[in-house]
Structure 1
Amino acid sequence: MSRNPESYNKGIEVLNDMVGEPGLKAIGAFEKFYPDFADFLVSFGFGEIYSREALDYKQRELITLTALITQGAFEQMPFHLNAALNVGLTPKEIVELVIHSAAYVGFPKACSAMTQVMTVFEQRGIKDI
């Protein structure tokens, strides 16, 4: 795959805005293992999808977290929970998202998601919801 410099640079900018150094470090691990995957993830995921103008980062993270819960992709949640908090979602909004999801995806997935939320909140020192 050839890197689209414009999309890649925009993707790095978006990634840095949303999660900063931890996000760049995560991409670095993919880049070290298989650079084409990292290029695709940055160029497409962040450079072309997250950078679109119709939705803001908060709305996109609500959608992303919902999709992750629905899929049971809990290992991806810490990255996006941190991003969600960084772009302005409140802890209460995140907890309510998980509660609301329980009605549609079931309590087992909601419990797994809430465990991820609790871990990230603990790591960030978030106590008041």
Structure 2
Amino acid sequence: MNHHSPSDPMATLYCEGRHTFIDLVPDGGSRLDALFHTAPAMGELAVGVVYGHLHARPGLDPRLREAVSFAAIVASGMVGPPLSVHLKTGLASGLAPGELTEVLLQASAFAGFPRAVSAADQLNRLFADAGLASPPPAPPREVAQAFCGLVREGRPPMPLSEAVKRHLCRAERLALFATSASAVVVECFDGIDTDPQALLHLNVEGETVVSVALFKAH
């Protein structure tokens, strides 16, 4: 690596980005050193921009930022280190394995099937290397949606408080947002109200909702 003065902004970004990457990927330091051994300046630029600058921007949460990155990698046809790296950083940022395969499916409609199939082929190996189930469990939002549907049909798959059942059953519409690989927030709305009447937090393990907490109720 080239030496920089302490005031060099690119060096600062690289240091910050390298620290972020190592936090996300356990073997991140050695992986970066090996990947950019021949072209260390490229490593400084790539790591500084992606993990030093972009990753720290507050406009997108880490899950969404990694989902966008993963989709862009699939769309560009990169099936080498970038796909491997962003599988790891995506998981570390809170994306569930099933969400990553859903992103791949979505990207296939716009990037074309040849690129998506190439990415899917590499994911087979990456999932196996990481010890992930293949195919993965359904994404947490899908699990939560099915759970809410059963409750609204009067067939709750687990004991629930009367307040939780009442809000889920009476709501005219629900809005579901996965916030991590194991958590989904459900907003319960009445009519055209823009303020939810109730806010629920669902914990998901695999393809099962294991707990529900009522955070807000009018």
Q: TM-score range by the shorter chain?
A: 0.7 to 0.9
1:64 deviates by: 0.8
Q: Would you say 1:57 and 2:57 are equivalent positions?
A: no
Contact 1:58–1:84 (Cα < 8 Å) also in 2: yes
Q: Normalised by the size of structure 1, how large is the TM-score?
A: 0.86
Q: Comparing both structures, which one devotes a greater share of its residues to strand? A: 2
Q: Would you say 1:45 and 2:50 are equivalent positions?
A: yes
Deviations 1:21-66 (A, max 9, x none): 2x22232124532322222122222111112121122111111111
Between the aligned partners of 1:71 and 1:13, the Cα distance in structure 2 is 27
Unmatched tracts of structure 2, length 5 or more: 138-218
- Measured on the aligned residues, the alpha-carbon RMSD in Å equals 1.9
Between the aligned partners of 1:56 and 1:25, the Cα distance in structure 2 is 27
Poorly superposed stretches of 4+, deviation over 4 Å: none
Q: Comparing both structures, which one devotes a greater share of its residues to helix? A: 1
Alignment-derived partner of residue 93 in structure 1? 99
Point out which structure has higher relative CO (alpha carbons under 8 A, 6+ apart).
1
Residues 1-129 of structure 1: pairs in structure 2 closer than 5 A: 2=4, 3-4=8-9, 5-21=11-27, 23-75=28-80, 76-127=82-133, 128-129=136-137
Between the aligned partners of 1:77 and 1:30, the Cα distance in structure 2 is 14
1:96 deviates by: 0.9
Contact 1:82–1:120 (Cα < 8 Å) also in 2: no
1:67 deviates by: 0.7
Larger radius of gyration: 2
What amino acid maps onto 1:97 in structure 2? V
Contact 1:8–1:47 (Cα < 8 Å) also in 2: yes
**1:20 partner SS:** coil
